[in-house]
Amino acid sequence: MEPQFTPLIDSLPSTVPFVGPEALERKRNRIFRARLGANENSFGPAPSVIAAMQENAADAWKYADPENFDLKQALAAHLGVAPGNVVVGEGVDTLLGLAVRQYVQQGTPVVTSLGAYPTFNFHVAGFGGRLVTVPYRDDREDLDALLDAVERENAPLVYFSNPDNPMGTWWAAADIERFIARLPTTTMLILDEAYGETAPASAMPPIDVSRPNVLRMRTFSKAYGLAGMRCGYAIGAERQILAFDKIRNHFGMNRLTQAAALAALKDQDYLTSVIARIIAGRDRIAQIAAGNGLRAIPSATNFVTIDCGRDGPFALSVLNALIERDVFVRKPMAPGLDRCIRVSVGLEHELDYFAEQLPLALASLA
């Protein structure tokens, strides 16, 4: 006899949404020479951010402010909203789980795109929701099909990202605003804008916290270079934001992360310089792809999705051939998208190594 899991937990597979590069390195017993698969910002945080972490390191014995007061004040001022319109959490992944918990019970229909960010699906499954997925169209999330599914299922929750992960594509702000205007008022939209800083301004709708059925989520993991610190935030109407306080881990943030995020937000000059480097890196990856007879899909993120020109098994072979050559990349897995691999913008020497190894990987499959 032993303690029994709930039927829901018993029904779920033992899995994780992503296999980390560290796990692959342990399995291979060697490190990657080019870490280009996790959509991390290899350029790292600003020197001012590193200094802030060093300055606060001696206070690590203290719990962090459970209200995230200073960071919420700074974010609100940066965004032009009230502090009550912002909630801070341990990365967008944690905030997604909290949002799902608020709107999903066992059997609740939840609409997303087939092949979109899998961690969201992981949370929906964990609370017993029923995923309703629609395929991408022309390598973009299909806004019309998402709306049709919401109305057909009477779904209380719909998710999509703009710019998109895993394809890097995006919709213009006007298209997003039309989607929101057509959305039933009883359906909450989670608009994941983790890559918002690397997108063109034309992709980002003005923030409107008067709408109670829109939660916009952003992060310090990508453009700000703080993926390892785990800090994200959601923006929305005050009543909906206040609900996070009912269930969030109030001591989930740590003091170094709070200090780092505050310093990162202040150093917009460094952010601007990093975005320029990301854009240059996207161009370089596209050139490498074209030089090998492959097509890079235009991207507004810190990665580029490369169409390998055939089918999913071939793209998987390309990925594995690169991993054998110490180049860590990932790929979409959904039908139609799985013909691609996904390459993060990396440091110059990493992209040089990728440029050297890609033709060798392709030649090994000929």
**Bridge partners, 17 (sequence order):** none
Give Cβ neighbours of residue 329 (< 8 Å, ≥ 6 apart).
36, 37, 319, 322, 323, 341, 342, 343, 344
Please give the sequence-ordered ranges of beta strands (E in DSSP) within the chain, or none if there are none.
Answer: 34-35, 86-89, 109-113, 130-134, 157-161, 188-192, 214-219, 232-235, 295-297, 303-307, 327-328, 340-344
Give yes or no for a contact between 109 and 154, defined as CB atoms under 8 angstroms apart.
yes
What was the pLDDT predicted at 178? Answer: 98
What was the pLDDT predicted at 219? Answer: 98
DSSP designation for 5 = P
Three-state DSSP at 162 gives coil
**Two structure tokens written together for 346:** 């990396």
Give Cβ neighbours of residue 350 (< 8 Å, ≥ 6 apart).
33, 34, 35, 36, 42
Q: What is the pTM of this model?
A: 0.95
What was the pLDDT predicted at 261? Answer: 98
**Bridge partners, 112 (sequence order):** 133
**Two structure tokens written together for 193:** 């804008």
Query: Max CA-CA distance within the chain?
Result: 62
Instruction: Quote the CA–CA distance of 19 and 213 in Å, as a whole number.
Output: 33
- Residue 108, judged by CB atoms within 10 A of its CB (0-12, 13-18, 19+), counts as middle
Give yes or no for a contact between 87 and 234, defined as CB atoms under 8 angstroms apart.
yes
Buried b (16+ CB within 10 A) or exposed e, 179-194: beeebeeebbbbbbbb
Domains recognised in the chain with CATH numbers:
7-44+269-364 (3.90.1150.10), 47-267 (3.40.640.10)
What was the pLDDT predicted at 366? Answer: 86
**Two structure tokens written together for 30:** 């060697």
DSSP designation for 164 = -
What was the pLDDT predicted at 32? Answer: 97
> What are the mean pLDDT values of the chain's consecutive 10-residue runs (366 residues total)?
92 84 94 97 98 97 97 98 98 97 97 96 96 98 98 98 98 98 98 98 97 98 97 98 97 96 98 98 98 98 98 98 98 96 98 98 96
What was the pLDDT predicted at 19? Answer: 87
Q: Identify the CA nearest to 361 among candidates 335, 339, 336, 341.
A: 341
Q: How many CA atoms lie within 13 A of 206 on its CB side?
A: 4
What was the pLDDT predicted at 16? Answer: 74
